[in-house]
Amino acid sequence: MTGGGEDIEGLRALKRRYELILSAAGEGIYGLNCDGLTTFANAAAERILGWPEAALIGKPLHDVHHHSHRDGTHYPREECPIYAALKDGEVHQVDDEVFWHANGSCIPVEYTSTPIWEAGSLKGAVVVFRDISERIRAERERAQAYEEVQRLKELLELERDYLRDEINTQASFGEIIGESQALKRTMAQINAVAKTSASVLVLGESGVGKEMIARAIHCGSERSEKSLVKVNCASIPGDLFESEFFGHVKGSFTGAHRDRVGRLELANGGTLFLDEVGEIPLDLQGKLLRALQEGEFERVGDEKTLRVDVRIVAATNKDLLAESKAGRFREDLYYRLSVFPINVPALRERVADIAPLAQHFISKVCTELGRPVLRLTKAHHAQLSQHAWPGNIRELKNVIERAVILSDANKLRLDLALPAISKANTLKPQDAPAFDNGFSGLDASAEQRTIMTDREYKNLEKINILRVLKISKGKISGDGGAAELLGLKPSTLSYRIAMLGIDYKK
């Protein structure tokens, strides 16, 4: 008897020891019999799920807290991995399910269901689980942090690209060069508006340097330490305009494989330069207007509203007011952009600046080619001054580069670079078509002058445009159109026709 009593006491002590161990464990632990009924629940299980042991003993564990999926749909008992251990006698591990708390909420858990064997017979199972809410929260925060790092990385990469573009542009065009009265008036306007936050609309023909004006405004502003972000509105496909301006989130449309930062967000704190703003599709002008007025927008496919502080400088060679009256440009957007319009003079209107600009380009090209810097002669000055420069500063740069390439070590061969262009833009009065609308042509003596007045330049250009319109039968764009024959964009030619008052349809 004594021996039997000692054995019983020993078993009781052993049981208490194991119960203490189980109670001290940080993970929740359940015991199940072969029928799936609860035989044991430790203190951690009650702490995690709120079910006291007394409410679980003798009841099917699955029906108490494993009855539904995370979304609330029914979880059949026969699919439960906990009970699978009682059927196949194997260990089952799960790391992405939920147990239901006594208060009705769900707790994300990972658990292991291990079968209990005794003398080769399956006696039940032990379920060990832990609450992984903190881990999921940490993983979510880590994912969000990673997304933020990726977003900032993309911003830095885009800013780097824009910085490279700025460096290349500065290297290509340098500072604004010239001392003509027309340029001085433009510079006075730049100085007046740069320090303000007003939107600026830069107007002028193609090639006059509208981007340089925008850069000068940005550099003279309090935003100069931030980015000047350029959007060439004429080069963006219509279906990508919204994504380009506002960005998009991954999966928002076919091809959106990752989040993208839009130009508006990239320019936050700085200046957004909308080049060729007249090319923005009409259906997107309203969205742009709202973003500019309210300083907020949503990425494509995203519901979160982003706020930005952006100064707008727009540029165009179109008459936007005429475009708005024709229904091709929103009038309210026009007035939002043209708070302070700046007209950039064509190169033919600043003849005094042609030689300094040409010498600047000569020095640049010679340096790039590793040659001694060539100098302009008086004869070169005369040649350059006689040309009408329909392509403005861009054309001048190209002519000078071609001349330097064709030159020897001591002499600038401007004669080899300019003649073909000069012939196309130096016309005789008899070349004017019959339907010149009362225009009398240029005095024949003008051809003999070394220097021509601005009026004579405009007369020559008018003759040239009338002649090409006659050849193209009034067709502006497309194959064989006047714009193609002149080597100009149709919008540029239309702008010049309007500025010169040519009524070619008569």
CB-CB neighbours of 2 under 10 Å: 6
Best CA proximity match to 358, nearest among 382, 390, 384 = 384
Answer whether 2-131 and 348-426 agree in fold.
no
Instruction: Report the SS3 class of residue 106.
Output: strand
Q: Are 127 and 91 in contact (CB under 8 A)?
A: no
Q: Residue 117: in which H helix or E strand, if any?
A: strand 106-118
Which of 3.40.47.10, 3.40.50.300, 3.30.70.20, 1.20.140.10 would CATH assign to domain 147-345? 3.40.50.300
Which of 3.30.450.20, 3.10.450.30, 3.40.50.880, 3.40.50.2300 would CATH assign to domain 2-131? 3.30.450.20
Q: Which amino acid is at 3?
A: G
Domain boundaries of the chain, sorted by first residue: 2-131, 147-345, 348-426, 428-506
Instruction: Report the SS3 class of residue 342.
Output: strand
Instruction: For domain 348-426, give the CATH number.
Output: 1.10.8.60
Tokens linked to 2: 């004594």
Class for domain 428-506, per CATH?
Answer: mainly alpha
Length of the chain: 506
The rounded radius of gyration (Å) of the Cα atoms in the chain is: 39
Q: What is the pLDDT along the chain (506 residues), one digit of tens a residue?
A: 445 555 555 545 544 555 555 655 678 888 889 888 988 888 888 889 998 988 889 999 888 888 889 888 999 988 889 888 888 889 999 888 999 999 999 999 999 999 988 888 888 889 999 998 888 888 888 888 887 777 777 767 666 665 555 544 444 434 688 889 999 999 999 999 999 999 999 999 999 999 999 999 999 999 998 888 999 998 888 778 888 888 888 777 777 677 778 888 888 999 999 999 999 999 889 989 999 899 898 888 888 888 999 999 999 999 999 999 999 999 999 999 999 999 999 999 999 999 999 999 999 999 888 888 998 988 888 889 888 899 999 999 999 999 999 887 778 888 888 765 444 454 343 433 443 333 334 343 433 444 556 676 777 788 888 888 888 888 888 877 888 788 788 888 888 888 888 876 65
